[in-house]
């Protein structure tokens, strides 16, 4: 038996990066996956590839910042497959040109970031839960970020919205646990999605590497396997948690890497 055999799952932002890897891994582990994205072409390509390999997937258009759009995707999924077992609320992001420090940030970016990162998760939960109750339970997974825990000189709305996702996840877990609905979040550190690989300068990648406890960077599949675990019944006693998948980047006293360099120079 595959790990999420027969489960019906929606992945928001499933056309690229973390969402794409999670869609692929869940489909390969037996789920029927709806890849929901505003890049419909990318979502269709991803779904077709899975179907051509003998897995079950389909694409749907989604604008996750819009309540009606999430409602429609949930309803169309239930129409197509009869139920909903896994809701992976993964859409999120930031605009580095506008999401600055509290004084200088563009307030339109505050509104946009909150809608994209937090409201989208609220909508995903609101519309998935009634169907999960009918199904006898389900698993909600939300993508947070390590920015929820460690602050930054910029990215104010990103950090605040992702911190809210962590707390919202606990509320949902508390409110619907008795109906057999689990809610967990994943907080990725830097993950080398195609966009991150193309956009981050080499020096910045080295900087991240230096502060990771592990000797390598995170890949989209590292989040995808965590999603499969949280979607599956293997995690049936885990709820309200945020699993940090970040290579030990935030693990130790922050001076450790610099201290190592200093000691090496002194030898």
Ligand X SMILES: NC(=O)c1ccc[n+]([C@@H]2O[C@H](COP(=O)([O-])OP(=O)(O)OC[C@H]3O[C@@H](n4cnc5c(N)ncnc54)[C@H](O)[C@@H]3O)[C@@H](O)[C@H]2O)c1
Q: What amino acid positions are annotated as catalytic residues?
A: 158
Place of tokens 């992001």: 93
Q: Which of 10, 13, 27, 249 binds ligand X (CB under 6 A)?
A: 13
Query: Which lies closer to ligand X via its Cβ, residue 67 or residue 177?
Result: 67
- Please give the structure tokens belonging to residue 219: 């890949």
Helical axes 17-28 vs 220-231, angle rounded to 10° = 50
Which 40-59 residues touch ligand X, going by CB under 6 A? Answer: 42
Residue 34 touches ligand X, criterion: CB under 6 A: no
Total residues at the site for ligand X (CB under 6 A)? 28
* Least Å from the CB of residue 124 to ligand X: 11
* Per CB under 6 A, 196 contacts ligand X: yes
The smaller minimum CB distance to ligand X, of residues 19 and 138, is found at: 19
DSSP secondary structure of 93-144: ---TTT---TTTS-HHHHHHHHIIIIIHHHHHHHHHHHHHHHHT-EEEEEE-
User: Tell me, what DSSP letter sits at residue 167?
Assistant: H
Binding to ligand X by residue 191, rule CB under 6 A? yes
- Residue 184 interacts with ligand X (CB under 6 A): yes or no: no
Work out how close the CB of 130 gets to ligand X at its nearest, in angstroms, rounded to a whole number: 22
Residues 47, 92, 131, 222: which binds ligand X (CB under 6 A)?
A: 92
| C-beta neighbour count of 123 within 10 angstroms | 23
Please tell me the distance from the alpha carbon of residue 240 to that of residue 223, in angstroms, as a whole number: 17
Interface with ligand X includes 90 (CB under 6 A)?
A: yes
* 129 binds ligand X, rule: CB under 6 A: no
Using CB under 6 A as the binding rule, the residues of this chain from 205 to 264 that contact ligand X are: none
Q: Applying CB under 6 A, does 121 fall inside the site for ligand X? A: no
Give yes or no for a contact between 212 and 249, defined as CB atoms under 8 angstroms apart: yes
Contact status: 124 vs ligand X (CB under 6 A): no
CA–CA gap between residue 42 and residue 167 (Å, rounded) = 31
Extract the tokens encoding 84: 């909903």
**Residue 197 to residue 192: CA distance in whole angstroms:** 6
When asked if residue 62 is in the footprint of ligand X (CB under 6 A), the reply is yes
Where do contacts with ligand X occur on this chain (CB under 6 A)? 12-13, 15-19, 37-39, 42, 62-65, 90-93, 116, 143, 145, 188, 190-191, 193, 195-196
């Amino acid at each position: 038996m595959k790990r999420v055999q027969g489960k019906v799952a929606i992945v928001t932002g499933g056309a690229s990066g973390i969402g794409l890897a999670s869609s692929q891994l869940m489909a390969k582990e037996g789920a029927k996956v709806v890849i929901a994205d505003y890049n419909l072409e990318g979502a269709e390509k991803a779904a077709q590839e899975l179907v051509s390999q003998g897995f079950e997937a389909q694409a749907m258009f989604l604008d996750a910042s819009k309540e009606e759009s999430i409602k429609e995707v949930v309803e169309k999924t239930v129409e197509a497959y009869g139920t909903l077992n896994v809701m992976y609320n993964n859409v999120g992001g930031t605009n580095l040109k506008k999401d600055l420090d509290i004084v200088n940030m563009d307030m339109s970016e505050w509104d946009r970031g909150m809608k994209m990162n937090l409201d989208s998760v609220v909508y995903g939960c609101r519309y998935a839960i009634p169907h999960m109750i009918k199904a006898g339970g389900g698993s909600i997974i939300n993508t947070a970020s390590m920015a929820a825990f460690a602050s930054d000189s910029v990215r104010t709305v990103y950090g605040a919205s992702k911190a809210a996702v962590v707390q919202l996840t606990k509320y949902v877990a508390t409110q619907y646990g008795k109906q057999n609905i689990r809610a967990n979040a994943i907080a990725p550190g830097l993950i080398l999605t195609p966009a991150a690989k193309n956009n981050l300068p080499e020096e910045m990648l080295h900087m991240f590497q230096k502060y990771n406890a592990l000797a390598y960077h995170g890949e989209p599949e590292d989040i995808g396997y965590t999603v499969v675990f949280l979607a599956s019944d293997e995690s049936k006693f885990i709820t309200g948690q945020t699993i940090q998948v970040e290579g030990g980047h935030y693990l130790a006293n922050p001076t450790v890497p610099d201290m190592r360099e200093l000691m090496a120079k002194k030898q």
